[in-house]
Amino acid sequence: MTRVHHDAQVPGDECVSGIAGIRCVAVIGLGLVGGSMTRDLAALGVRVLGADTDDRTVHSARTEGVVHSSLEESLDGIAEADVVVLAVPVDEAPRLLHDIAPRLRSAALVTDVGSTKRSIVAAAQAAGLGACFVGAHPLAGDHRSGWTASRPGLCRGARVYLCPTETASLAALELANTLWTALGGVTEVIDAATHDRLLGFTSHLPQATASALAHVLRDAGVAPHALGPGGHDVTRLAASSTAMWSAIARDNADHLDAALGALEQQLAALRDAVRRGDVDAVQLFFDTAREWRTSDV
Amino acid sequence: MTRVHHDAQVPGDECVSGIAGIRCVAVIGLGLVGGSMTRDLAALGVRVLGADTDDRTVHSARTEGVVHSSLEESLDGIAEADVVVLAVPVDEAPRLLHDIAPRLRSAALVTDVGSTKRSIVAAAQAAGLGACFVGAHPLAGDHRSGWTASRPGLCRGARVYLCPTETASLAALELANTLWTALGGVTEVIDAATHDRLLGFTSHLPQATASALAHVLRDAGVAPHALGPGGHDVTRLAASSTAMWSAIARDNADHLDAALGALEQQLAALRDAVRRGDVDAVQLFFDTAREWRTSDV
């Protein structure tokens, strides 16, 4: 969190009155991540503009005082913002970038919170926002979603991947770092292609696996309450926002395809060892997995 | 927890001095579950006999006062026990039943804590222990294992499946219920075959899935610390005791085989939809999984 002197002429009179270089942030999409950001930004003394397709959400955010002004559907008011954050499903972000590009005036940074980065970074470049766009992906979601799940401190301690366009300015990257660090995130710069491959394995595959496991249990006539603590954890993500994950699966289809294929192969190998009663192979399978999982945690 | 009058002639002088009908319990295997049981049983005022293949574990348990007397390798001292609990890997339990059967004298109940039930129930019957054997499976483990992971209250609030032999006495079943309820468990009687099919899906498949996912991530060159909270949860079980899970996978091979095959099919179906860019099919896949996962939790 960056604290600045509210009045430099009164030394010692420090108070939370904004983030260095960021006076006004527009957050488009007040779901779990966007909504949580408005709470933290407002608490940091930043002026927050908000927009959401659900009028009740905007009303709640304004009533709670974490959104100071709502953006009209035209998004014209966005001209006031120093920073614009897109917190919408990954398949809606490209169109939105195109819509807001001509309306921006003083924005030094446009960023987002999506789980895939190649298409949004390309869309920002295509919309003429290459210099000020630094995509972001905070690893801060959970299986709950929407404004009602939003809360202060969601990003505290979370890794936040930053994916600048190829033509992003150093100033935009520094401002993105300032913003996300102020929200408690631990930033890491990574190119969009590397991000999407990595997250295909570390995030999208675990999500798809949890949902596939839910299908198997459902088809077997098992109720969720029959799960023990382990099965509960492994299937938890199946309760996640399905619109969000469908969009991610489509946007990162190539990497998810490869990751799913690799998982099918591992399951088939275990199944083969189990069927054959191959004691050593089964033991080695669990040993190797355990060695990896306990290697640096 | 059952409290009994320490001295019936002094009304009001209630204290924790045992479990009704259970004066002395022998626990063989002082790992996560067995070790935790000794802590709770001792706290309830029960005399606890303990055995473990690791002498240091037995020494620790005696030093901490939760095991009052250690059983020699011959297990002759077991004759003193009202209840015998086998808390060893599922592939060791049948041999152990055979060894202890001739040494039992006053035992009204022999039970266990294994994750598979068909083979142990059959072995108890074969060992002539049909009348007093009621297998048990507390859903209380986690990815940690061994004596050092044991702790008071492990079974508190946990579902405990009870699987009596076909010839088990009602008294043995009632005593098993008394024991597990005193430890805080919520008991449910189920036949061994039904148990093994159910757990193949609710427990063994999630474990195998977590381990298979660990393999995929390892092969992709991903480190565990790169996981977000979701991926962390889905792979957590991969850190479980591998000896325990290898034994379970072998003992419940038929059901695990079927469950793994069903998961492969679901993953292949999702992969196919992702590759084809079938928006509706991908959305339906996540929707159906979410509907199940949120249906009664």
pLDDT tens digits along A251-285: 999 999 999 999 999 999 999 999 999 999 999 99
Q: How many C-beta atoms lie closer than 10 Å to residue A259's C-beta?
A: 27
Three-point CA angle B145, B119, A267, nearest 5°: 60
Asked if B292 and A218 come within 8 Å (Cβ–Cβ), the reply is: yes
* Confidence grade of residue A18 (pLDDT, cut at 50, 70, 90): confident
Asked if B263 and A216 come within 8 Å (Cβ–Cβ), the reply is: yes
Complete edge-to-edge strand list for the sheet that includes strand B109-112? B69-70, B47-51, B24-28, B83-86, B109-112
Which alpha helices (H) appear in B31-169, and where do they start and end?
32-43, 55-63, 93-100, 118-126
pLDDT of residue A17: 62
Asked if A293 and B214 come within 8 Å (Cβ–Cβ), the reply is: yes
pLDDT of residue B14: 40
Asked if B295 and A231 come within 8 Å (Cβ–Cβ), the reply is: no
* Confidence grade of residue B213 (pLDDT, cut at 50, 70, 90): very high
* Residue B9 clears pLDDT 70, i.e. is over it: no
pLDDT of residue A72: 86
Q: Which residues contact A291 (CB under 8 A, 6 or more apart)?
A: none
Residue B52 C-alpha, separation from nearest chain A C-alpha, in angstroms = 22
pLDDT of residue B18: 75
The mean pLDDT value for A213-224 works out to 97
Closest residue in A to B282 (Cα–Cα):
A246
* Residue B286 clears pLDDT 70, i.e. is over it: yes
Predicted-complex ipTM score: 0.87
Closest residue in A to B271 (Cα–Cα):
A257
**Which two three-digit tokens encode residue A255?**
């990497």
Provide the 8-state DSSP code for A225: G
Beta carbon pairs, A and B, within 8 Å: 299
What is the residue-wise DSSP string for A154-201?
TTTT-EEEEEE-TT--HHHHHHHHHHHHHTT-EEEE--HHHHHHHHII
Residue A161 C-alpha, separation from nearest chain B C-alpha, in angstroms = 11
Asked if A292 and B207 come within 8 Å (Cβ–Cβ), the reply is: no
* Residue B85 clears pLDDT 60, i.e. is over it: yes
- Across all residues in chain B, what is the average pLDDT? 92
* Residue B87 clears pLDDT 80, i.e. is over it: yes
Three-state SS at A7? coil
Residue A202 C-alpha, separation from nearest chain B C-alpha, in angstroms = 5
Distance of alpha carbon A11 from alpha carbon A156, whole angstroms = 29
The answer to whether A285 and A270 are in contact (CB under 8 A) is: yes
Asked if A285 and B142 come within 8 Å (Cβ–Cβ), the reply is: no
* Residue B15 clears pLDDT 80, i.e. is over it: no
* Residue B55 clears pLDDT 90, i.e. is over it: yes
**Which two three-digit tokens encode residue B21?**
């009908």
Q: Which of A226, A233, A275 sits opposite B202 (nearest CB)?
A: A226
The answer to whether B124 and B110 are in contact (CB under 8 A) is: yes
* Residue B296 clears pLDDT 60, i.e. is over it: yes
Three-point CA angle B37, A227, A198, nearest 5°: 110
Residue B14 C-alpha, separation from nearest chain A C-alpha, in angstroms = 35
Asked if A215 and B264 come within 8 Å (Cβ–Cβ), the reply is: no
- Across all residues in chain A, what is the average pLDDT? 92
Which alpha helices (H) appear in chain B, and where do they start and end?
32-43, 55-63, 93-100, 118-126, 170-182, 192-199, 205-219, 229-235, 242-251, 253-276, 279-293
